[in-house]
Structure 1
Amino acid sequence: MKLAKLDFLLRYPAHFNRLMAVRRPDVDAGEDPWLTGTIEQSMIRYKYGPWDPTYYALLGALTGKGLIEPKHEDAIATYCTTPAGREVARALAESESWRPVRDRAVLLRRYFNLTGTTLKNLIYETFPDIVEADWGTHL
């Protein structure tokens, strides 16, 4: 859940800016990491919130490539980067083309490093139109 909510805030800068204005109005949200304001796909409302249903396949691919490893604690699945994953992330973070994404990720970590449930509740309180949309609705 937490990964999905953080990804939502990363991929949809207008929603990030709105939530940032609520949570930390004194902090500059920085530039839009996607620059053009376009994203790869439109947001669709799903069961667990405004997130992409392909996370499980992506997490499996990252695990299979040795970039992350699953940790299961108390029936909660979490993932940690491996040394190889940290190297790839570091290389991306150092590249100029990924700088806006890195900067946004830094803000997400600094101001939204909450529990999954707390982050979900904050998003749901701020964006009731998303919560009230029927599943499968393009937003």
Structure 2
Amino acid sequence: MTATGDVNRDVLTVDGGAHPDAKGCRNIVEVAVGVIIGRDGRFLLTSRPAGKAYAGFWEFPGGKLEAGESVEQALRRELQEEIGITIAVAESWRVQVVDYPHALVRLHFCKVREWSGQLDMREGQTFSWEGLPVACSPVLPGTVPVLTWLAEEQT
């Protein structure tokens, strides 16, 4: 799927996005993201591992969809692989397209309220259970809209 004609005007552009010549020919990377919410209402943020773009920035966990996977299937796989939990239901919530210099991504945010297993940061990342406003910093730009949406739901 290419960006041409597929991306709505609500694209979050980060650090200038792609080079102007590349905007019409970049593929969109589909990403499943878990907004994992504990019984106390706090949500899980994880740091991006060393070696990845924006290493050390805080984000909601998840990862890329593989060929033939649904968003929920990808989220289940990614959360098991990256942080060691098995989720129950993934409630489809919001979608946000983000144009980073390194990638054009469509983030499929799903709320997760039930899971099993213990958190095990398998990629060397760290984690934090957060409320609003978040205490950890810096926050990945693609995470910022989610914090706004969560704040709006509290009002």
Using structure 2 for the length normalisation, give the TM-score.
0.26
Instruction: Specify which structure has the higher proportion of strand.
Output: 2
Pick 1 or 2: higher relative contact order, CA cutoff 8 A, min separation 6: 1
